[in-house]
């Protein structure tokens, strides 16, 4: 057994939030490893550019405009992948994030609901619908993107911590349910990563320096540094791995 266990040749993958950042890097890595890749997000122009890059690697690409806050949209997304590729082997639920911070006392209920819907409810719907498609073809790998904020509570991000912590425990629970069926479910919990979502931090030198002080490696991560964990969990290298969380954070939670 050698490096070929990391091959995704013949696999059919779906990556949400694929238009930029971590999702984009994972989608390209999957294609390089041999998978056909469906890429989903709300920004179609970015997805179309990504699809051309995937196709230049000799793989098929499907662009799906979707809003993961809507269950019907998730169902249509998975249906489109199955119709185009003939099945679904790998699902990466990467879309999510938080575009605001708030102390508990000042947080508006609608803000809590917004973050919960995007980061937690959407994962439930995607996992349920995606698992159904995988069961129809004999198995697959679900990879949910959580966060270090879901391991250790982040002040002024309590809503995000709750949602991402929920994703982690939800993944553990469904992994046990699905284990005998051939469907595996795992999490990746990134630390601070240099993505457009974190421009508010990287664009301010003082804020960036404060973030780097929390990380033993002394820097924030790059999107491509999440790829190794994703390839492992998607491939036959992890056939005995389910219900786990791989933390990629430069030592922040060590």
**pLDDT surpassing 70 at residue 1:** no
Query: What is the secondary structure of 167-182 as a DSSP string?
Result: HHHHHHHHHHHHGGGT
**Strands, DSSP E only, in 123-220?**
140-145, 183-190
pLDDT in tens, 29-43: 999 999 999 999 999
In degrees and rounded to multiples of 5, residue 36 shows phi and psi of -85, 140
**pLDDT surpassing 80 at residue 124:** yes
Options 3.40.50.80, 3.40.50.720, 1.10.645.10, 3.90.230.10; CATH of 3-248: 3.40.50.720
**pLDDT surpassing 80 at residue 200:** no
Helices H / strands E in the chain, number of each? 9, 7
* pLDDT at position 240: 98
* pLDDT at position 99: 82
Q: Domain residue spans in the chain?
A: 3-248
Nearest to 167 by CA among 185, 182, 184: 185
Helix axis angle, 21-32 to 44-56, nearest 10° = 20
Give ∠ CA 122-124-32 in degrees, rounded to 5.
75
* pLDDT at position 172: 98
Instruction: Give residues with Cβ within 8 angstroms of 124, minimum separation 6.
Output: 170
**pLDDT classification of 111: cutoffs 50, 70, 90:** very high
pLDDT, greater one: 40 or 202: 40
Positions marked active-site: 160
Q: Are 119 and 96 in contact (CB under 8 A)?
A: yes
pLDDT, greater one: 100 or 181: 181
Q: Are 32 and 24 in contact (CB under 8 A)?
A: no
pLDDT in tens, 218-249: 999 999 999 999 999 999 999 999 999 999 99
Q: Are 128 and 113 in contact (CB under 8 A)?
A: no
- The CA distance from 141 to 152, in Å, is 26
Nearest to 129 by CA among 119, 145, 140, 118: 140
- The CA distance from 191 to 147, in Å, is 6
The residues facing 63 across adjacent strands are 39
Q: What is the pTM of this model?
A: 0.95
Dihedral sign, Cα of residue 246, residue 3, residue 130, residue 174: negative
């Amino acid at each position: 057994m050698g490096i070929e266990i990391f091959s995704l040749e013949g696999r059919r993958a779906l990556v949400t939030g694929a238009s930029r950042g971590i999702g984009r890097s994972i989608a390209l890595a999957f294609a390089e490893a041999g998978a056909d890749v469906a890429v989903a997000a709300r920004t179609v122009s970015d997805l179309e550019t990504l699809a051309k890059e995937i196709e230049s690697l000799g793989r098929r690409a499907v662009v799906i405009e979707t809003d993961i806050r809507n269950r019907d949209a998730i169902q249509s997304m998975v249906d489109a992948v199955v119709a185009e590729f003939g099945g679904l082997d790998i699902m990466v639920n990467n879309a999510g994030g938080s575009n605001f911070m708030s102390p508990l006392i000042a947080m508006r209920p609608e803000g809590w609901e917004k973050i919960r819907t995007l980061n937690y409810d959407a994962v439930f719907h995607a996992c349920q619908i995606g698992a159904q498609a995988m069961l129809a073809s004999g198995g697959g790998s679900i990879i949910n993107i959580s966060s270090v904020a879901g391991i250790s509570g982040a002040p002024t991000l309590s809503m995000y911590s709750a949602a991402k912590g929920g994703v982690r425990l939800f993944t553990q629970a469904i992994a046990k349910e699905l284990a005998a069926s051939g469907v595996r479910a795992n999490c990746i919990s990134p630390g601070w990563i240099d993505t457009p979502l974190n421009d508010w931090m990287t664009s301010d030198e003082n804020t960036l320096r404060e973030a780097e002080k929390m990380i033993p490696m002394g820097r924030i991560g790059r999107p491509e540094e999440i790829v190794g964990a994703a390839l492992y969990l998607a491939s036959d290298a992890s056939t005995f791995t389910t219900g786990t969380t791989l933390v990629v954070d430069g030592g922040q939670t060590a």
